[in-house]
Structure 1
Amino acid sequence: MSTSGSTTTLEEAVHAALAGVEDPEIHKPITELGMVKGVAVSPEGLAHVGVYLTVAGCPMRDTITKRVTAAVTAVAGITGVEVELDVMSDEQRTELRKGLRGDSADPVIPFAQPGSLTRVYCVASGKGGVGKSSVTVNLAAAMAARGLSVGVVDADIYGHSVPRMLGTTDVPTKVENMIMPPQAHGVKVISIGMFTPGNEAVVWRGPMLHRALQQFLADVYWGDLDVLLLDLPPGTGDIAISTAQLLPSAELLVVTTPQQAAAEVAERAGSIALQTRQRIAGVIENMSWMELPDGSRMEVFGNGGGQTVADSLTTSLGAPVALLGQVPLETRLRECGDAGTPIVLADPGAPAAKALLGIATKLTTRARGLAGMSLNISPVKK
């Protein structure tokens, strides 16, 4: 009797330990997700734990096994752990989806709901080659390093590069109609590049682009995000219009270089806010100068472009648009992007990293309120 009572107590202790094990994709306890199939402890203290995987090819199976093993091993009285993996049935996956997303048949975009507290930034530029994707991934990594829950949508369907810059080759996992996004450096990320073989080109027209963006926002299980960043394609085309329709309260971050020609094009990208009634969070000037060994600065692309864009948008929008920061041009920024570790993490003391960290701080410490929300109203002329 005492042995049976002792075993029961150990099984309860193991269950309690498993409540502290989070699924690496969903970030909720596996006990809460219905992933614990069963627990049995032998009189000798050997724990046998059955765990349901959401799908047969779950890429996180090894991580789950290690987490379960470590948690159960730490229980006093356990002498060994055996983890047996099984796969959820269709009915179990349906219950999991309902528990996470509700019983709605049609997925909704959580960030477009009135009660959403996620701050959404659309990183835009007038032309390509200004470093918009580099800015996006570094801001995301910097925000995640501050302890925020951050997601990135690589909405540049034709020129997707975010997965490489974040150093991930993982593919999303599909559970029912939900897509679990991979993570890198604490950032959840989704990109069309995760669904295309090799380096295959994406040849789509407007309606398909709109549907892809809608799926990225509605079908992906993002969880409770503090910040969502969208890396938009350059210009004011289909994706920019779709983003305004799907995320009316999103704020624009306009990226430009100091070059006046680039600044003029960036103004057009920012002025789309006049038609979409979106708020502009600010302007970021990239490649502002190159710091030389003697301490002087070489202004490779001229100067003043970022401030010109901020001033012009302030005038046209009738509301202040700030120049959030100037990011120097340096080799380390490119090297870190190619290596898959953003410079704000790999070399936080570098001039470019300091500038990007400063911008991230400004964007994450602003007070919430109606100033950051789209009221979707137009002034009435008397």
Structure 2
Amino acid sequence: MRDYYEILGVPRGCDEAALKASFRKLAMEHHPDRNGGCEDASARFKEINEAYSVLSDPQKRAAYDRFGHAGVNGMNGAGGGAGMHDVHDIFNEVFGDVFGDMFGGRGRRSSGPARGQDLRYDLEITLEQAYAGAEVEITVPSAMTCETCSGSGARPGTSPTTCGSCGGQGRVRATQGFFSIERSCPRCGGTGRLVLDPCDDCHGMGQVRRERRLQVRIPAGVDDGARIRLAGEGDAGARGGPRGDLYIFISVRPHELFERDGLDLLCTVPVPMAVAALGGELEAPCLLGGENCDGECKVIIKVPEGAQTGRTVRVKGRGMPSLRSRERGDLVVELFVETPTRLTSRQKELLREFAGLCGDQQHPKSAGFLGKAKRFWSEVTGTA
């Protein structure tokens, strides 16, 4: 006979939490209902239950640790197998919160009012809306309590009757192998009631599908992937139960000018070659809205003399607002030095004259790069 600790895949001396976790995993894997009644799975499932019924009981476990299987013979352990009552208690304890629809215990489902389902709505907004906040109207299809029958599902003037199969309990019990299984009543679907004369509008369901219009407030500073919960705006509950919640998942549409980096906004601005060389001022775009906005959707930035492509200029306080504080990010402007195109003959002549006047001091990076390139070529070719 196999060692109980080996069956459950746990070491001797493991705590109760580790024991229960291993049992839950193995029992779910080898449950007969999940394996099409396979005989090997049923035998393995019975073996797992027998091991757990011993090791989960402190008295039985102590006897097993000291004397092995001989120490638990006659104690509903090895030799006789786990009893019907023991197995049912084990599943109540371990799986009551997971398989309440199959086993009795903590997970028992009432045939009374049930809470409605939560709903998800994917909402795409613009970066401008995320920046300043907005009120957005959405249309959500959801289950509504049928007004004709007030949610009973029965035609007005009639009432649902008690289900004869489960006696109004919503559950039926059957014996399978060495333990009993409790399931939702297949005739009434677990409601405990039967609608013999269904409502014409909801066809006995007690609910109808309708589209509802809701106003959603988008807070300033919301980021891509954020979730907004609207309590009580989900599906209506069955049999007069409370409504579920509506979860709105936010996605921010890519912007043609800006990228977001945390609270900062990044923007690339082309700079004429002359301005980059001599320095000067340029207009850069910014988002309009928010308490720090001066009413203009542009800011003036100073381009330093000799600015190169990739140089950044930071404008304080013109980035995204924070959801949780009064902090605000910056607008980070990356400069892109633009080479002039479609030059006239005179412009080309002036540029050639300018190039002839420039030396290493005007192009230090070019001079440094050429020096490194010459050393590389010398090493490769072996020339001095």
Whether TM-score is above 0.5 comes out as no
> Which is higher, the Rg of structure 1 or of structure 2?
2
Q: Structure with the greater relative contact order (CA < 8 A, sep ≥ 6): 1 or 2?
A: 1
TM-score (norm 1): 0.21
TM-score (norm 2): 0.21
Higher helix share: 1
